[in-house]
Structure 1
Amino acid sequence: MANVINVPADQPTITAAIAAANTYDTIRVAPGVYHETVIITKIVQLLGAQAGVDATSRGEYAMESIIVSSDTTGSVQIQSDNVVFDGFTVEMNTQWAGIFAPTTVSGYSILNNIVRNNVTGMYVHSNGEKMVQIRNNLLVDNSGFGNAIYASLGMTNAFIEGNYFAGGHSQASINIGGAPGTPNNNLTIAHNRFFRDNSIALTSTTNVLVSGNIMQETQGSSIFFGGATNDTEIVGNVLEGGVSSGIRVTTAFSSGVPNANIVAHDNAIQGNAVAGLDLDTGAYDATAPNLRLDATNNWWGSSSGPAPVGDGDAVIDPDGVVEYVPFLTANPLPTPGAVRTTGPILCTGTDAQSIYVSILNNDLNHQASIQMLGFYLSEGNKSPYVHELFYLSPLTNTTRTYQVQFTSQYEFQFGITGTQDVNIAVWGLDASGNVISSIRLVAEEMASIQMLTPGVP
């Protein structure tokens, strides 16, 4: 029968708990900071204080089990099949990865973790014998090497879903590749959110589904092909506002080996600075039995279609290998709602002690994604102290309360995706919890802005 080992109640460190554990035991780690390299060599469940709690929405003030190490392989090393690593913060590895898994393992699950401020976030691989799951993690500012999730040695049979990439990755948010012939097969990248971060980059991959992702203001091309890919389906994604292209097809990392059999349907591709779809000469092989690049039935930001036939995001196709007609004449996906701000609020008069925020998704059919930022203001500077991303099902409400007594001015901003039918109210509360009438804002009183203030971790 499997046992439960508590850290530090039963064992003083995570490492000691792993040594004491038997196969299939559960190790529960209390909140706190653990300065150790965690090497998992047994089939165990390793559960942090936030196990089961989605890391993309639990906020800044949750009690965390934090692992800090500067190991050159990784702060957390998954060296066994079927490991569950759930509910931690892994941060500040100045030497390499927050989480590492070699090509000799499979079947592991990385769930509900905050991975930040490492040289690279996750350097993970799999032999494909069992499915790997990487779900509901928050990845931010893994900037030394510049990748959030990176696999260069082989990743097979993996599901990357529901993660949030919040910026600071100069190479790629998800970077799967290697030399031609590297086994990167049977991958699903679905329902992730990327806000002002970087690409999904694919090189030497086969049978990849990229579906239902929201990629906004990408600091590169949203979906990037480095060459030697085959059988890629891109369906139902939002690719908008990037500084380069929505989809970019090259042979940059494959010694000139072209890509083949790319299908892209039902995507919302708009507002990208260079193009909606941009192919290098010789980057796509449409020679039979390969298919032409099928980019039909996409929205390019205009009912007239993509340039050169319309005035939407361009299709750049020097070899004439792309099919993009018919195109959609309306956006198939819910458009993002307005970005709203309370503007500066003064803590004057009776002096607000806290701020109460109520958010209602009044849409009957669509989920709302809310990114909320809070700042205190001083001498013209904004200092972030709240950063939350969470989701509201149709006709549901959530509330938040934050302290503001430490500042004379504050501001809250809200980025809304999925529906525009969201009602927000913000109230100031005094020390007794009473509403301050001079600090009360509803949605109609909030200003619309172009984008959320950048630079928030």
Structure 2
Amino acid sequence: MKGGFMMPSPVYVNDDWTGLPPGTVVGPGQVIGTNAFATIEDGYTAVDSPGTVIVYPGLYEPAATIVISKNGVTFSGPQANVDPRPAFLSTRTPGSTDEAIVDGRGILGTIFRISANDITINGFEIRNGLSDLIDSPGVLPDKLNPTLSYSIIHQAGDEGTQLRNTVNAVVEYNYVFDTTGDAINICCDSRDGFIQYNEVNDNSSINAAIYVYNADNITIQWNLVQNVLVNDGIKLGSSSAPFDVNRFVGRVLNNVVRDLEQDGITVISRDAVVDGNDVYRSRSTNGAVFVDRNLTNIQITNNCIHDNGVLGDGRETYGVRIGALNNISTNVQVNQNNIFNNIDGGLIFNPIPPQPPPGPLDAENNWWGSPNGPNTMAGQSDSVVGNVDYIPFLTEPGPTCLSQPAITSTNEIIVDNDPGECSAFVSYTISASSSFFPINELTSAGETYTFSPPQDDVTVEEEGVFPVGTTNIPITVTNIDGQTDTITLAITVRDTESPTIICPEDKVVFIETDEAGTVVTYPEPVVSDNCPVVACFCTPASGSFFPVGSTEVTCTAEDIAGRVTTCMFTVTVEQAPPNTLSLNLWLTLNVQVVSDVVLEIQSQPLNNDVSAIPLPNHDIRECINVERVYDWVVFCREINRNFPVSAECNLAIVECENAGQEITIVCEPDPEATIITVLDFLRPFPDRPGVEIVPIRFQIPVQIQYSCNGEQICAFDITVCYVETFVLCYPEGTEIQASVTDVQCFVCRG
């Protein structure tokens, strides 16, 4: 119960029940003769109004036209709401045992005739009739809300379907092919209807595959019309009578119309809108889109009209033709279309005289296949002929052609490098859409994504590490019609980090006094960067001639992004005097005295001239009260002497230093070979009775060795002479003995 009323029960039809006697139970709640029948006619006769006739798969061959005169009856086949269109990957096959096939056997004219309101036929295969396979009579009253959907309709001796005197008729999601007359026709005082989402193939009508005339406000949208063998694809308005010229028959929106013997879309009614269609491969003697008769207020916008005409076929096929012979249409707008690759011309508008020419046709803002606009000479591809205002024109394509998929995401991504890296981690989205044929595949950088079922809009998320610079990623999207769109996604990683550069230390080079300068080599600077450095150079370069004085060297590092960092150091070239050697010796003296009395020792250094030894002017130390003293260390001296270095050794030293290598100097004194000489007898110390001074000379041999980076480059021997005066307090006749117990030397270049 619903609202106090019993809902009508469905009626079931199955050709397998043929011959079963009334009362036979064939299923749960299904009884032959009550609500179960072997024929569609018997099922319809038994159904309530409103009610539903549920038809199982099988072959049904009605003896006569099924005239539907009860309101609100739905015929529901086994494929109800299952898309039958092969171009949209339908799983249905004509003639399959899964279909409820209603066959006219080549005998019946019309198979279904709709003579009531709210009739629905959904999910059948209807075929093989001599006339219109489905129709409604062209008499009053109007038939309200008929719906024909999800059916396969073919082998019609005339129209696949022709609906007359209907209101709000809907013909959708049908596959109609192999019809002698129109595939789908709404006419004869019908109004407010829709022909949508149908696939129409192999039509031989002398009018059009989809034909609407003598009707009002019919929308033809989202249909695929192809392989039209005789005449036009879609015709809006009567081709044989003038009564639609001043009638708003309807609009043609978002259809794909292709492979046509004549026009793709013909308009023969006022106020028509032709928008968003994709029309191609027409061989029309008029135009792929043709506005006929004397019409007004026609809008042709956002269409793709392309690749029409066959070179050398003797026909003159324009992309768009406005008017023919003496017909003049006014207030026609042709805007925002892609009109390209039409062999015989893009657009023609200029009726034959003596008709007065109208004002210029508004054909602004179209894409003519070139950023330079259309051709202006008749007979050329995409030419414009007649009094046409085509300026301004689009310099790149406008709307995406309906049959084509489109990658809608960006084709350029720009990011900065990750800190310290010559790359960046990038995540991005690839989006694509295809408003007519859904997308089933997308490839990006060699990876393929498939979509099952296909989708009108797809999105893929990708990520990766990309190096500094630009990486080009080819992306292709494919729809179920095999049409593709390809872009190259450019991912640019910018290097935002400059290189670092450390110059070598300042360099001093010595040359001979008569030279103006010298060639100087120096170490390369130390360079680092997050990315490889593509250039590093110094000015003046290593190996250049440097004059005497200081020269500033500038070194530059440049990375792959063109970022530059510099540093500087100084090369000084000096005219050096001959090298001298400054020698420091540490001398320890052991003096032996032989005496049984108290001894006082006092020391005083003298110069090397032993001919005149001055007396020291200092106090005498207190005597050391010992009975006998042996091996007494009486002094420790640091002796400094300067010696010239040989020219040969000088040259070796300069060459080593100029090469940036390290000079080391080693001295090797020979204490045992030191000669110690008492220069004179004891002399009295003035004013000090009993105190004597003794001068002693030391001759110390030393070998000097120069090395460059650890390798000896020169050596020579020197002798250091030194005289020391000792003040002694001891008994007369005491024996004096002296020796050098230790010699250390420190050498530096001076």
Aligned counterpart, 2:231: 171
Mark the CA change 1:77 to 1:294 in structure 2 (over 3 Å): closer, same or farther: same
Q: What aligned pairs does 1:370-389 form with structure 2 within 5 A after superposition?
A: none
| Aligned pair partner of 2:135 in 66, 77, 87 | 77
**Alignment partner of 1:157 out of 217, 223, 238:** 217
Judging changes above 3 Å, is the alpha-carbon distance between structure 1 residues 51 and 414 closer, same or farther for their aligned structure 2 residues? closer
Pick the aligned partner of 2:332 from 262, 269, 290: 262
Q: Distance in 1 between matches of 2:350 and 2:39?
A: 52
Aligned partners of 2:269, 2:53: CA distance in 1, in Å? Answer: 35
Structure 2 CA distance, aligned partners of 1:35 and 1:261?
Answer: 52
Whichever residue aligns with residue 274 of structure 2, its letter is: V
When residues 23 and 111 of structure 1 are mapped into structure 2, their CA distance, relative to the original with a 3 A threshold, is: farther
Q: CA deviation at 1:237?
A: 1.0
Residue 393 (str. 1) matches residue 457 (str. 2): yes
Measured against aligned partners, the alpha-carbon deviations of 1:45-70 in whole angstroms (never above 9, x if no partner) come to: 44444443444414364544211242
Q: Is the 8 A contact 2:324 2:351 kept in 1?
A: no
Of 172, 182, 185, which residue of structure 2 is paired with 1:123? 185
Q: Is 1:111 paired with 2:140?
A: no
1:366 aligns with 2:366: no
- Tell me whether 1:241 sits opposite 2:338 in the alignment: no
Question: SS of the residue aligned with 2:242?
Answer: coil
Correspondence 1:223-234 to 2 at 5 A: 223-234=289-300
Q: Which residue of 1 aligns with 2:397?
A: 331
Whether contact under 8 Å (2:322, 2:348) holds in the other structure is: yes
Matches within 5 A, 1:278-293: 278-282=348-352, 292-293=360-361
The answer to whether the 8 A contact 1:68-1:92 is kept is: yes
Cα distance in structure 2, aligned partners of 1:87 and 1:251? 39
Pairing 1:313–2:313 present: no
Question: Which position in structure 2 is the counterpart of 1:275?
Answer: 345
Aligned position for 2:423: none
Q: How far apart are residue 391 of structure 1 and its match? A: 5.6
Q: Which runs of 5+ in 2 are unaligned?
A: 1-6, 15-34, 100-123, 138-142, 310-316, 406-428, 440-452, 461-478, 489-750
Q: Provide closer, same or farther for how the CA distance between residues 32 and 157 of structure 1 changes in structure 2, counting only shifts above 3 A.
A: farther
CA contact (8 A) 2:294 2:323 kept: no
Corresponding position of 1:145: 206
**C-alpha distance in 2 between matches for 1:284 and 1:98:** 43
CA distance 1:266–1:101, change in 2 (3 Å): same
Deviation at 1:219, TM superposition (A): 3.2
**Counterpart pick for 1:68 among 110, 122, 127:** 127
Q: 1:208 aligns with which of 254, 264, 272?
A: 272
For CA contacts below 8 A with separation 6 or more, give which structure has more relative contact order.
1
CA separation of 1:204 and 1:210: change in aligned 2, threshold 3 A: closer
Aligned letter for 2:277? N
Question: Secondary structure in 2 aligned to 1:181?
Answer: helix
Distance 1:45 1:200, change over 3 A: farther
Find the aligned partners of 2:158 and 2:336 in 1 and give their Cα distance: 38
Question: Is residue 195 of structure 2 the alignment partner of residue 134 of structure 1?
Answer: yes
Equivalent-residue separation in structure 2 for 1:304 and 1:77 (angstroms): 51
1:88 CA displacement: 0.9
- Matched to 2:90, the amino acid is G
Distance 1:78 1:330, change over 3 A: same
Could you tell me how far 1:333 is from its partner in structure 2? 2.4
Asked if structure 1 preserves the Cα contact closer than 8 Å seen for 2:328 and 2:351, the reply is: no
Correspondence for 2:611 = none
CA distance in 2, matches of 1:19, 1:82: 21
Determine the C-alpha separation between the residues in 2 that align with 1:185 and 1:283: 28
Equivalent residues of 1:50, 1:87 under 8 A apart: yes
Which residue number in structure 1 is paired with residue 701 of structure 2? none
Asked whether the equivalents of residues 279 and 316 of structure 1 are also in contact (C-alpha less than 8 Å), the reply is: yes
Counterpart amino acid of residue 249 in structure 1: I
Partner residue of 2:369 out of 301, 310, 314: 301
Unaligned ranges ≥5, structure 1: 339-361, 373-388, 397-412, 423-457
- Decide whether the 8 Å contact of 1:107 with 1:132 is kept in 2: yes
CA offset digits 1:322-353 (Å, max 9, x no partner): 22111101001236769xxxxxxxxxxxxxxx
Q: Read off the aligned partner of 2:250 and give its amino acid letter.
A: L
| 1:23 CA displacement | 4.8
Structure of greater Rg: 2
Amino acid at match of 1:66: E
- Give the match's secondary structure for 2:292: strand
Provide the C-alpha distance between the structure 2 equivalents of 1:293 and 1:146, rounded to a whole number of angstroms.
Answer: 28
Q: What is the CA–CA distance in structure 1 between the aligned matches of 2:353 and 2:212, rounded to whole Å?
A: 22
Match of 1:100 among 162, 169, 185: 162
Q: Counterparts of 2:204 and 2:129 in 1: how far apart (Å)? A: 15
Mapped contact 2:258–2:264 kept (Cα < 8 A): no
Partners in 1 of 2:303 and 2:353 — Cα distance?
22
Give the SS at the match of 1:196. Answer: strand
Shift of 1:39: 4.2
Deviation per residue, 1:218-239 (Å, 9 max, x gap): 2323211221332221111111
Instruction: State the match for 2:665 in structure 1.
Output: none
Contact 2:160–2:179, Cα closer than 8 Å, also in 1? yes
The one-letter amino acid paired with 2:146 is: V
Distance 2:290 2:8 in 1: 44
Q: Is the 8 A contact 2:264 2:282 kept in 1?
A: no
Secondary structure of the residue aligned to 1:327 is coil
Q: Partners in 1 of 2:152 and 2:308 — Cα distance?
A: 29
Give the conservation status (yes or no) of the 8 Å contact 1:5–1:21.
yes
**How big is each residue's C-alpha offset from its partner over 1:52-98, in whole Å with a ceiling of 9 and x where there is no partner?**
344441436454421124233x11113422111111111111x3111
1:13-32 equivalent positions in 2, closer than 5 A: 13-32=39-58
SS in 2 for 1:206: coil
* TM-score scaled by length of structure 2: 0.43
- Is the alpha carbon distance of 1:235 and 1:418 closer, same or farther for their aligned partners in structure 2, counting shifts above 3 Å? farther
Decide whether aligned partners of structure 1 residues 114 and 3 sit closer, same or farther in structure 2, where only a CA change above 3 A counts.
farther
Q: 2:519 — aligned with what?
A: none
Match of 2:255 among 192, 195, 198: 192
Distance of aligned partners of 1:309 and 1:250 in 2 relative to their CA distance in 1, 3 Å threshold: closer
Cα displacement string for residues 174-220 of structure 1 (whole angstroms, at most 9, x for unaligned residues): 12323222365151211111232353443530221111111222232
Aligned-partner Cα distance in 1 for 2:385–2:211: 28
Counterpart Cα distance in 1 of 2:438 and 2:458? 17
- Aligned with residue 149 of structure 2, among 86, 103, 109: 86
- Structure that is richer in strand per residue: 2
CA distance in 2, matches of 1:229, 1:39: 39
Residues 407-451 of structure 1, C-alpha deviations (whole Å, 9 max, x = no match): xxxxxx9754473369xxxxxxxxxxxxxxxxxxxxxxxxxxxxx
Instruction: Tell me how many residue pairs correspond in the alignment.
Output: 358
Contact 1:334–1:419 at 8 Å: present in 2 too? no
Which amino acid is 2:134 matched to? Answer: V
Taking a change above 3 Å as real, the CA distance of residues 124 and 285 of structure 1, as seen in their structure-2 partners, is farther
Sequence identity, in percent?
Answer: 20
Amino acid at match of 2:275: S
Q: Deviations over 1:246-282 (max 9, x none)?
A: 1112346xxx543222112111111111111123524
